[in-house]
Structure 1
């Protein structure tokens, strides 16, 4: 009687091949800048701030038209502002990296023995000694690019491949606008569905947006997508609930 083939065990995403080719490809991929932080930052902030306006308007009893106008203004203005802020931040990272790179290049040109001793002490602290230590120092200091990059990482703790400013800004803006539009879309149907149903749809769409962001985060970071979705929903939902509560409070204070 033929045996039933055993089901394959799910592959742990943290496990990988250890062939020379696979290792080289993996290390090359690891050196590329990571766009996840820019995406999550823009998307979560876009969804939260826009829904905060929708919830605040709903809580204060204002019309859906007001929420649409304020929400669209927020998506474009705040999205651009956040993109510019991220651009300036990443550009500052590049400027700082270039400044320290020039500093190390000057030190190597003027004080090569002292800089070589720094490399020696760095690798001695990692456990290298004897001939192995001598060989490591000789290998690194024989290539000035590698020498400088090693000093930037080990002495100053600087990443040698920070994200490109324009790319970081673009990803932040697109993520902010895309996620920020989600809470607004249901408001278009307010006249036919009524304000209560529309607001309920906006809540649902926003929570689904948070879940999607969290799932992407979980997939990229190799954590549980369900966990990422739940965490992001809880954090984003808490901010949205706070915005709605503030709107209700302001409405009651205004005698609405």
Structure 2
């Protein structure tokens, strides 16, 4: 396996991690935004149909917004990757010797001797010059660019799943226990998503989880207070 072509397992792992990232973020947003809506409505009214309708509307709007945002964001990233590959392809066509010198220098910078670096660059370029340069210089695989549709689908599904937790908790529990049960369920879910996102980013789990929980709790307390103001 050449250095210019990452193993298929590595490509699959990168795509899977991208979808997992979008999924975790989508679930977190779904939990917080839907919880904020239903807790605010529960503070304002005891009508289950009103609370349910508001929660479903917020869940649908949020899921579509999250998916479209992920699609636009990843599409922009994909366009940038394609532009970089086009520039690399143009250089290979216009001045292959200069491109070979650049690739050789990349391997020299990684610790190879000048002669060995040039030999590696020549052999890799003979197979697939664009893939060799893209891997060494851009850290890209031309055959495995980011997919905006995967991120969008992961976002909309995870947002909907995350949003269903506070929605079900608020409408299936007795009136007197709605808000505390929903608050507790949301906090537990936020601890889980905060820990997962921290592990994915190799960050300290405690700090990231605390930030996630504080943000979600603040959103619920704020919307609850607003709901009390408009008590009907």
Give the TM-score of the pair, scaled to structure 2: 0.78
Q: How do residues 104-143 of structure 1 correspond to structure 2 at under 5 angstroms?
A: 104-142=88-126, 143=128
Structure 2 unaligned spans of 5+: 1-6
Q: Does 1:233 align with 2:213?
A: yes
Which structure has more helix as a fraction of its residues? 2
- Of 40-49 and 93-102, deviating more is 93-102
Provide the rounded CA distance (Å) in 2 between the counterparts of 1:96 and 1:151: 17
Map of 2:72 onto structure 1: 88
In structure 2, relative to structure 1, the CA distance for the partners of 1:203 and 1:162 (3 Å cut) is: farther
Give how far 1:152 is off: 5.2
Q: How do residues 55-94 of structure 1 correspond to structure 2 at under 5 angstroms?
A: 55-59=39-43, 61-65=44-48, 66-94=50-78
Q: How do residues 15-26 of structure 1 correspond to structure 2 at under 5 angstroms?
A: none
Contact 1:101 / 1:148 at 8 angstroms: preserved in 2?
no
Map of 2:163 onto structure 1: 180
Provide the rounded CA distance (Å) in 2 between the counterparts of 1:111 and 1:118: 11
In structure 2, relative to structure 1, the CA distance for the partners of 1:57 and 1:45 (3 Å cut) is: same
In structure 2, relative to structure 1, the CA distance for the partners of 1:239 and 1:123 (3 Å cut) is: farther
Give how far 1:72 is off: 0.8
Give how far 1:77 is off: 1.2
In structure 2, relative to structure 1, the CA distance for the partners of 1:189 and 1:212 (3 Å cut) is: same
Structure 1 unaligned spans of 5+: 1-23
Provide the rounded CA distance (Å) in 1 between the counterparts of 2:87 and 2:191: 45
Give how far 1:145 is off: 3.5
Q: How many residues align?
A: 222
Provide the rounded CA distance (Å) in 1 between the counterparts of 2:219 and 2:77: 30
Q: Does 1:163 align with 2:146?
A: yes
Contact 1:86 / 1:172 at 8 angstroms: preserved in 2?
yes
Provide the rounded CA distance (Å) in 2 between the counterparts of 1:64 and 1:210: 27
Secondary structure of the residue aligned to 2:103 is helix
Give the TM-score of the pair, scaled to structure 1: 0.71
Q: 1:146 aligns with which of 127, 131, 138?
A: 131
Provide the rounded CA distance (Å) in 2 between the counterparts of 1:99 and 1:247: 49
- Of 129-138 and 104-113, deviating more is 129-138
Secondary structure of the residue aligned to 1:184 is helix
Secondary structure of the residue aligned to 2:154 is helix
In structure 2, relative to structure 1, the CA distance for the partners of 1:197 and 1:186 (3 Å cut) is: same
Q: How large is the RMSD of aligned CA atoms in angstroms?
A: 3.2
Provide the rounded CA distance (Å) in 2 between the counterparts of 1:49 and 1:152: 41
The structure with the largest alpha-carbon Rg is: 1
Map of 1:21 onto structure 2: none
